[in-house]
């Protein structure tokens, strides 16, 4: 109590002294002085005094502790305390799993661990891998041009066979022009940013593969997803974005879809997409990687399949590593679409051009498709046989289209965890390979892939598969699934 009284007394005394000082400043004779006829009040005196003090303080050098080098002991202590951030995310057990290594060509049969297996993991749709005409074409091109081009297309990397390949693709599809890319994946994530810019509006199916996702990310456009292959969802999304956004009519607007979705095996209803495109005045960008050389009466893709004039699709892209059994990719469309990419597409402008022998192989593969229509018939028959044989498989259901070369098996009942679902499916794939010599893969995705569709087992059907290959595949899958997924029905 006494301490509190002392503190209060001291505070009051300080306040009285300060008040007396201010009163003195105001009442002092010099505070009422007149300078050049102007009376100087007490407040001006106090303000002038404060200004002098401030100027004095600003003129003083700030205090800096004397510099001295760190001792070896201090350096060692700082190094011991420093913990650098990891350059990569933690490596989990499933990431360390090594995929099977192929010891021969990725044909309908291949060698894994010295054992012949039936291969359903390679997108060799028409069985052209190792085709005699393609090998002959590659050999001739290697002898004439060598292996690589050693330069981008715009910097002395254009070889006559590149121009021949572009012309052959355009003629086959019935478009004015085409452009080649040296890598299949780079086709989409170069073509998309070449047209879609910051502020543009892009409506995308939620099931598109990673290459499209990456292209959209690089474009910095406004991205809106619609439900996978759901035309009612697409219609409502187009309706909403055009009504809610007053600037929508002034923006570049795109719909981006795949013809055959790699993550589900479903086929996009192009006729309905074109109808919505014309109604809401959008452009369509279509990836035909898994339908070129497969769908349509003569293998010309989704436009032929739905009998839609190809000029109604603004931009078409495709990888050449599937039906054509080559490598690289292409984009086809109007002259303006193609010429724009020759100046603005990063994958074309800055990458070394496609090795000439691969361009030659692609030309020959298109010639084979043109002259051997029975390959397409055989592929469709094989897909039908496999799908029929997989009916009734325990715990799994067929999620893909009956005409799709990608047969996709999804779990009927999810465990509730993507990681657990994937582990079940990988157990089935591993046992089918080890016990039955049938090579299938799961739709395992990288940490960068944002696709939200359910995972599944993916079988790439080939025209080169025999009836016994197909029977072995569906019988082994049924047997192993019944063992692993007991009680899943």
Report pLDDT for 243: 84
Strand 201-205 relative to strand 253-258, pairing: parallel
Sign of the torsion angle spanned by Cα atoms 87, 445, 460, 115: positive
Residue carrying structure tokens 């300060």:
18
Label residue 414 left, alpha or beta by phi (over 0 means left) and psi (-120 to 50 means alpha).
beta
Sign of the torsion angle spanned by Cα atoms 341, 342, 343, 348: positive
Beta strands in 18-65 (DSSP E): 34-35, 38-39
Beta-bridge mates of residue 381? none
Report pLDDT for 35: 47
Domain ranges of the chain: 107-128+373-488, 132-371
Neighbour tally for 130: CB within 10 Å:
15
Tokens of 471: 């029977």
Please enumerate in sequence order all residues whose Cβ is within 8 A of that of 271, keeping only pairs 6 or more positions apart, or say none: 306, 308
What's the number of CA atoms in the CB half-sphere (13 Å) around residue 224?
Answer: 19
Report pLDDT for 6: 55
Tokens of 254: 């795109």
Strand 315-319 relative to strand 329-333, pairing: antiparallel
| Alpha carbon distance 226, 219 (integer Å) | 19
pLDDT < 50 positions in the chain: 1, 3, 30-31, 35-36
Report pLDDT for 37: 54
Report pLDDT for 460: 97
Report pLDDT for 34: 52
CA angle, 244 as apex, 241 and 247 as ends, to 5°? Answer: 85
Q: How is the beta sheet containing 109-112 ordered, strand by strand?
A: 109-112, 115-119, 438-439
Q: Are 253 and 247 in contact (CB under 8 A)?
A: no
Q: Are 189 and 214 in contact (CB under 8 A)?
A: yes
DSSP letter, residue 311: G
Sign of the torsion angle spanned by Cα atoms 190, 191, 195, 196: negative
Rounded to two decimals, the pTM is: 0.81
Domain covering 132-371 in this structure, CATH number: 3.40.640.10
Report pLDDT for 191: 94
Report pLDDT for 36: 47
State which fold the 107-128+373-488 domain adopts: 3.90.1150
């Amino acid at each position: 109590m006494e301490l509190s009284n002392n503190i209060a007394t001291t505070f009051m005394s300080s306040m009285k002294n300060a008040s007396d000082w201010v009163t003195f400043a105001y009442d002092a004779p010099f505070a009422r002085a007149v300078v050049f006829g102007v009376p100087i009040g007490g407040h001006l005196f106090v303000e002038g005094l404060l200004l002098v003090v401030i100027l004095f303080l600003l003129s003083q050098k700030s205090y800096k502790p004397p510099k001295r080098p760190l001792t070896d002991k201090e350096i060692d202590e700082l190094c011991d305390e420093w913990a650098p951030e990891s350059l990569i995310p933690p490596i989990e057990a499933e990431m360390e799993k090594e995929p099977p290594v192929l010891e021969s060509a990725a044909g309908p049969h291949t060698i894994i661990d010295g054992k012949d297996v039936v291969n359903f993991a390679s997108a060799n749709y028409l069985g052209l891998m190792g085709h005699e005409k393609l090998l002959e074409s590659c050999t001739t091109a290697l002898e004439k041009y060598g292996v690589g081009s050693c330069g981008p297309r715009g910097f002395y990397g254009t070889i006559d066979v590149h121009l021949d390949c572009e012309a052959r693709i355009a003629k086959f599809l019935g478009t004015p022009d085409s452009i080649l890319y040296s890598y299949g994946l780079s086709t989409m994530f170069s073509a998309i940013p070449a047209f879609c810019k910051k502020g543009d509006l892009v409506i995308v199916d939620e099931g598109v593969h990673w290459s499209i996702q990456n292209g959209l990310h690089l474009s910095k456009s406004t991205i809106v997803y619609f439900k996978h292959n759901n035309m009612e969802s697409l219609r409502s999304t187009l309706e909403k974005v055009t009504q809610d956004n007053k600037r929508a009519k002034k923006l570049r607007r795109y719909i981006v879809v795949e013809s055959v979705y790699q993550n589900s095996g479903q086929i996009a209803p192009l006729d309905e997409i074109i109808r919505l495109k014309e109604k809401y005045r959008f452009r369509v960008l279509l990836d035909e990687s898994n339908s070129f050389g497969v769908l349509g009466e003569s293998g010309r893709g989704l436009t032929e399949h739905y009998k839609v004039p190809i000029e109604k699709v603004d931009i078409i892209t495709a990888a050449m590593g599937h039906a054509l059994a080559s490598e690289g990719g292409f984009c086809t469309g109007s002259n303006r679409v193609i010429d724009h990419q020759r100046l603005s597409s990063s994958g074309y402008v800055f990458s070394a051009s496609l090795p000439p022998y691969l361009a030659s192989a692609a030309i020959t593969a298109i010639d084979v498709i043109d002259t051997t229509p029975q390959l397409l018939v055989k592929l469709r028959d094989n897909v039908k046989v496999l799908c029929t044989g997989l009916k009734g498989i325990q715990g799994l259901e067929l999620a893909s289209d009956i005409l799709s070369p990608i047969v996709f098996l999804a779990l009927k009942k999810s465990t509730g965890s993507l990681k657990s679902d994937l582990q079940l499916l990988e157990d089935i794939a591993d046992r089918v390979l080890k016990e039955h010599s049938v090579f299938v893969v799961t739709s395992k995705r990288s940490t960068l892939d944002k696709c939200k569709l359910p995972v599944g087992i993916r079988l790439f059907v080939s025209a080169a598969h025999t009836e016994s290959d197909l029977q072995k595949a569906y019988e082994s899958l049924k047997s192993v699934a019944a063992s692993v997924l007991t009680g899943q029905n």
